[in-house]
Each structure stands twice: as C-alpha cells, then as structure tokens.
Structure 1
Amino acid sequence: MASTSAAYGIESGVGSRGARTVRQILADTQRVVEPARRAAVDAFPVEIGRVAGYHAGWWDAEGRPTDGAGKAVRPALALACARAVGGGHTEAAGNDAAVAAAVAVELVHDFSLLHDDVMDGDTTRRHRPAAWAVFGVREAILVGDALLAAAMQQVISVAGAGADSAAAARVLAAAVQELCEGQSADLAFEERAEISLDECAAMAEGKTGALLGAACQLGAMAGITGGSDQAGAVAVARYRAFGRHLGLAFQLVDDLLGIWGDPAVTGKPVGSDLLSRKKSLPVVAALRSGTSAGKRLAWLYQRAEPLDEGSVADAAELVASAGGRVWARAEADRHFDAAMDALTEAGPAPDAAADLRTLAELITRRDH
C-alpha cells in the first residue's frame, strides 16, 4: 500500500502529470450534467422549483441569475467511473445512463443539504442565506422531498448496459437510508456525553461515504458494456469502495475545516463546529485520548454556558493538544491511500483513472 498521496503523482489542484486539471474536469461535468439537472427541477411546480434553483445557486431569491452553483464533485465521480469501465466519453453526453446517475446523486446531495441546514439551524450555505432562512422551514423540507423523488426518477429512467434500473434504484435507496441513519446518529450524539471513535466513524461513513460510494458505484454500473457478470460485479464493488473511502477522507477534512478553516474561504465562523459543540471526528479523538487536554475539552463541552470567542479558541487548542488534529489528518491520508488501492484493483481506463485521482486529491486537499 502506498503511504502518501505523493506516491500517485498528484499535484494539488492540477491533477497528475498529463492529466486534465480539476477545473477542466468539473467544467466538462457541469456542461453535461447541469442541463439534465435543470430539466429535472423545471418539472417541479413553480414555487418548488424557485426554492430548488435558489438552493442550487442558479438564481437569487427574486429569481435573478447568479453564479453560485456547487462544484459537482459527485457527478464528476459518477461520470469518470463510467468511463473507467469502458462507458465512453460521458462528458460529451455519450452515455445517457451515466448522466442520469450523475444527476441523481447531485439531487440527493441537494436534498440532504436542504434538510441538514434545517436540522442544524445553519443560516448560511455557500456564502449566502440558506434556503430555509429565506423561504421558510416548511418550504425547505418540501423542496428537499421533491428533490429526493426526482433523484429516484433519474435512476429508473435510463438503465445502463450492465445493470437494470431496479438495481440502480436499490443502490441509491440504500445510500439514502444510510445517509439518514448517519444524520440520525449525528443528532443523537449532541445529547450524549460518551461517544466512541468507532461510532463516530460509522456516523461519518453514513453521512458522507454512502453517497460518494453510490456515485462511483452507479457510474460504474452505467458504464459497463461487456465482460462477465461476475467480473462486472467485482469492478463495481471496487469503485464503490473507492468512493466510500473518499467519503470518509472528505468528512475528516471537512471536520478539520470546521475547526481550523479560514472563514473567508469556508464561509463559516471561526471554529464553527466548536461553537455548536459538535462532536466531530477530531473532537471525539481528543475526548477519547485520555490526556489532560482531552479532559479539559470535555469540561468545556459539558458547560451549560454558551462558548464565547475565547472559549472556542481554547477548545481548538485543546483538540490539537490532545492529538485530535494530527489523528484526523492521518486518518484522511489513510482513507485516501485505501481509495487509491481500490481504484488500482479496479483496473480503470488510464484517462479516467487520472481524472479520478485528480478528483480524489481535490477532496482530500481542499480548503473549503
């Protein structure tokens, strides 16, 4: 097993030597996926579509066009995995099944963010007011439900050559169920004083790993055009493992940014996760460290008084002193390496492999 991301010849933000850049990959993905995603939203009633489009970053609250859409990392993974197994040049709209899979996972992602913002009380999303803060809680919940239904319609509308639509629907439904289980655990952790690292990692795998794994799995299913059923199933399982490991690395990096990220880049207050006493992976690692810093952090988290700016800064220092920061970064690297091993075992087409490695680097070396 390789020990660092450098072993794979990846340079942050630009991809491996001779590969396309992140900007090129995501731009090509959006060019193909966004029309189909917009078509799905256009099918909504006007009021539901207005909120969905605002949440997606296509327009402001008054319907004026904006340029605030997300990166489309999950759709990019789906398309690249379809190409990796021989599914053609999907960025040129050559594989309708892969595009449908890409749109489906992005719609599920939109659904999850809408509902997460409501449950967590987060008032901002992508540097502007969250949809529920603009349109109301009831509207946000309703639109999230509509997005989830639209996602399921996508996966059953076009079947890939190597998998039927029912199989694709089962994959996405299982991912959504696991995502909900992860979110339920996350909410339950807020009321619990004692949480193990294994429990916290399982929660993160559900909340983040499940959907990235499904994106890669559905893409591979859509792209398979030949080979035995057994060989195809093995390849699909390896792409799923690749995505799930990336998801855990993504969550670990997200947790680090939630404590030490630059507010000008992340769009969140300094130490936002600590301010809300969130039991993220670095925090739980610190709390379970048995160190004096970990015990002091536990005392801060159990206090009834709200944390002020000074207390948040103290908490961040305690997490680092207890080893939570170093542990989380090492775990992110470990899951990155595991993802690369799964990708190598899958035997992807070279061009698609380069794109997948570049996207993996983006996920694990990002700053927001």
Structure 2
Amino acid sequence: MSDISFDNLSVVFPDGTVGLDSITLDIASGEFVALVGPSGSGKTTLLRTLAGFIPASSGTVSLDGADVSAVPPERRQMGMVFQQHAVWPHMDVAANVAYPLQRAGLSRAEQRERVEETLETVGLAGYGKRKPSTLSGGQRQRVALARAIVAKPKVLLLDEALSALDEPLRDSLRRELVALTRQSSLTTVHVTHDRKEAIAIADRIAVLHDGRLEQFDTPATIVSRPATPWVASFIADAALLDGDLAGDQVHTAAPSFAWRTGEVTVVGEGSAGPVTVAVLPEAVTVARAGESAGAGARVAQLGTVTSVLFEVTGYSITVHIEGVEFRARTGTGFHPEVGQRVAVTIENPLVYPRAGR
C-alpha cells in the first residue's frame, strides 16, 4: 500500500500547451481513484506524469512522502495497464507475465511461483503455456493486468484499460478488478472517459477540465453536490441557467423559473447578484401537459420531449424549453413520446454565485 501526493504540479509542453495547471491532491494508501474529464482535460497527462513518462514542469509528485519527480519510470514501482492490452504475441502467457520479474533478476523458480500465483489471481490458472492469439480480448487484458501486478507494485495505473472491451465482458472485468484491488489494498489510479464507470467503481473521483482540477471527492458528493457549474454539467448532465439572487428569491429569465432561497441549495457564498442555476435531472419532474408536475411545485413550464431512452426502471428523457435542454427521469408508469408536450417543474436546483461578480 502506498499514498500519492501531487503538490502544485504543472506540465507545459514544448509548444506552450498547458497539460496540467497547478494540480494539488492526495491519494490515500489503498484508495481506488478515477480520473475523468473530456478529451484534452489532462487526465492521461496526470497519469503519465505520475508514472514518470512525462516530466513535470513545476511542482512535485510524491510516493509515500518521498519526492519521485526525478525518478525514472522503471524505479517508481508502479504497474500499468493500457487501453490496448499490449501483450507480446511471440511469447506465451507465462513469459509475458514473467517479463518484469526477469528484468528484476528473480530466479527462474521464483518467477515460476510468482507467475502461477498471479495467473490464478486474475482467473487464468492453467493458461501459462497458451499463446495470446488463442485468447479472447478479455483474457488478453487479464494477462496485461497480471503482468502489471506480478512484481507487487506500490501503485497500479490503468489508462482506459477497460474501454476497448465489449459489454458484458467489460462489466465482468470491472467487477473483478475492483475486487482484486480491494483484496490486495492496492492503491489504484484509473483514467476513464466513462462517467458511470468512475462513479460505480471509485472511492474518489478527480474531475479535470483544461488541465485544472475542478473537484476531488466521493462519487456520491460529486453527483449530488458538484463543486462548480461545469462539474454539474459534465458529471450530472445538469442544465445551466443564468439567474439572479435578490432578497429571498432566485429567478431565471429564459426559461422563467423562480424559487425562494429556502427552496434551492446555494453552493458557495450566497450574497445577492448574478448566479448560475444548475438543474440536475433529479430536480426535474415531468408530467403530462395539464397535470400537476409535482407536489408543492411553485412554477410549471411547458416543454417538448426531444428524446426518450429506456433505462430498465424508467425513462431518461430530454425536454426542450425556450432553447434549453433539460434531462429528466420518469418511472415506467409514464412513457413520454418524442414531440409530446409536457409540464415541467424544477425543485431544489443548485445555485452558484457568478465568479468575479
């Protein structure tokens, strides 16, 4: 088990592009952390800087309290699994997995014992003499995982390691990976573009945007109380509205909604002035036009359903109101149709004071 610290870490590439901008965060020993963000957000840059493949322009990377910023990748005691399994086709499974042990100078007997133990751990006992070409994609990714952990690394790094797999194989390997890291208390950092995956498997999530850390918290907190409007939009599919906080009311102009301050959640300082109102899907109630859209609802607006997706326990829908798209969920008792007019109410939105006002 090992803890990781980034202290004011920045990366600027030779062409002047900022890859990371003053990242500071601490990952606890044995923690499973997911890095998420859109393309170009810095998540892969952060992972590769941690691995030692990209040098920091400023700031430090520490492992167990020791600065490893100048330590080469092969001496950081980290195992890494990439999106493409990258097993060597000319070697059998056992030789692929044994490679890090061979480089470390372990005896053949020690290599054999460690390889057999690790293959059993990843569900490939008895596969040592098989060639990668005879394996499925999921099995080859298990070989890559075995190779990453066979040398008992301090940290496991996963770079989109599951994204090339099809469901339900991806879901199965995801569950096995979480069980494996939990059982071994292995500190794990996982880059993924899949928000649902990050929410499902991580102890904490680091949300990155334009090289900056927007929020680092538990999945439950990030989903229910995003730190910024951008996080609310990216992680929780929130609609963002320009609004104003005046007296005991928050109101928006287009579309027009109004709430008393006791009916909203203000994130940050709540002084009067311009605000951004973030409307999470959970805050939106939809009903047939002409029906009450929610108990105690103060304001209802008519909108048009623009998309409907079935999600086992109900429907995920998009409603268009005055140029704004709202996400909402309904139970199976109400199946909206695309083009249908519906009544929409919003209860307990998140309100963010406007930066620099």
Task: Work out whether the TM-score is over 0.5.
Answer: no
TM-score range, shorter chain: under 0.3
Task: Provide TM-score, normalisation by structure 2.
Answer: 0.25
TM-score by length of structure 1 reads 0.24
Higher helix share: 1
Higher relative contact order (CA 8 A, sep 6+): 1
Select the structure of larger CA radius of gyration.
2
